Amino acid sequence: MRAKKDILLPTHVKMVSEGKLRIYQRKQTIKFQGRLMALWKSYAKKQISTGQLLKQYEIIHGPC
């Protein structure tokens, strides 16, 4: 895991210096929230079970 962070750090520094990191994070957040809301609507319509909701959330969110 450490190696991945070492690779991403220069990219993040460059993005911050160019003012792009905030834009990237905003887009990622909007994308995540859209997926989550679609998933929640499926659950509210009883198209998926609670277990399926949680499994799909885990896929969308990724490991903590």
pLDDT of residue 36: 95
- 43-58 per-position pLDDT tens digit: 999 999 999 999 999 9
The structure tokens listed for 23 are 């834009």
Amino acid letter, residue 27 = K
pLDDT of residue 3: 60
The structure tokens listed for 44 are 């509210």
pLDDT of residue 46: 96
Confidence of residue 2 (pLDDT cuts 50, 70, 90): low
Contacts of 24 (CB under 8 A, 6+ apart): 15
Tell me the C-alpha distance between 16 and 10, whole Å. Answer: 10
- 5-38 per-position pLDDT tens digit: 666 677 777 777 777 888 888 999 999 999 999 9
